[in-house]
Structure 1
Amino acid sequence: MSIAAIESVLQQMRVTSLQTGIAQPAAEAAEPGGFAAELRRSLDNISTAQTKAYGQAEDFEMGKPGVALNDVMVDLQKANVAFQTGLQVRNRLVSAYQEIMSMQA
């Protein structure tokens, strides 16, 4: 796996986070930190999306006013897509690590 492929996946994660409404604040986006910091921010965004979706689902179950079923379902699907994207990034990182470890010195 090449660096370009990993950067492509990170770009896809950024686009997904913008589309799902869990984009990071502008001040946080400007902070440097490299790959590890970007990965941490992506994982935090996934966690935030899941927490928000599950909280909204609980609010719907409790009968709180202003919580529509369609909004709950859409948010749960957004959280699921974000999680699946993160899972695929993890799989590709593990694959790249295994490929690098199997290289001859």
Structure 2
Amino acid sequence: MAGPGAGSLSFGRMVSEGLQALDTQLKTSQADLQHLALGEAQNLHEVMIRLEESRIALQLALQVRNRVLEAYQDVMKMQV
């Protein structure tokens, strides 16, 4: 059975990889928007789908952050 440190490393790695994936997705969406603005977009439907996926992924990340902050604040309010 793994110790307490092993779980925190995998959780930290999971968060880091998730944020990197989100960053990559947002950069791709930004490039898609630039291509669309220049008239170089091949398929408008695919661009719009990727933009919506990026928007939803960003909203999810913000909601997770908000929940973590709320939990932290609740823990800090507890009396020992």
Q: Under TM normalisation by the shorter chain, which class is it?
A: 0.7 to 0.9
- Describe the superposition over 1:9-59 as per-residue Cα deviations: whole angstroms up to 9, x where unpaired: xxxxxxxxxxxxxxxxxxxxxxx9322221111111111111111101211
**How many equivalent residue pairs?**
73
Structure 2: gaps spanning 5 or more residues: 1-7
TM-score under structure 1 length normalisation: 0.63
| Sequence identity (%) | 30
Distance in 2 (CA, whole Å) between partners of 1:76 and 1:45 is 14
Question: Is the contact between residue 53 and residue 75 of structure 1 (CA under 8 Å) also seen in structure 2?
Answer: yes
Distance in 1 (CA, whole Å) between partners of 2:26 and 2:53 is 8
Task: Write the mapping of 1:71-82 to structure 2, written as runs, cut at 5 A.
Answer: 71-82=46-57
Instruction: Compute the displacement of 1:76 (Å).
Output: 0.5
Q: Which runs of 4+ in 1 moved over 3 A?
A: none
Instruction: Compute the displacement of 1:78 (Å).
Output: 0.3
Question: Alpha carbon RMSD of aligned pairs, Å?
Answer: 1.6
Structure 1: gaps spanning 5 or more residues: 1-31
Distance in 2 (CA, whole Å) between partners of 1:69 and 1:96 is 41
The structure in which a higher percent of residues are helix is: 2
TM-score under structure 2 length normalisation: 0.81
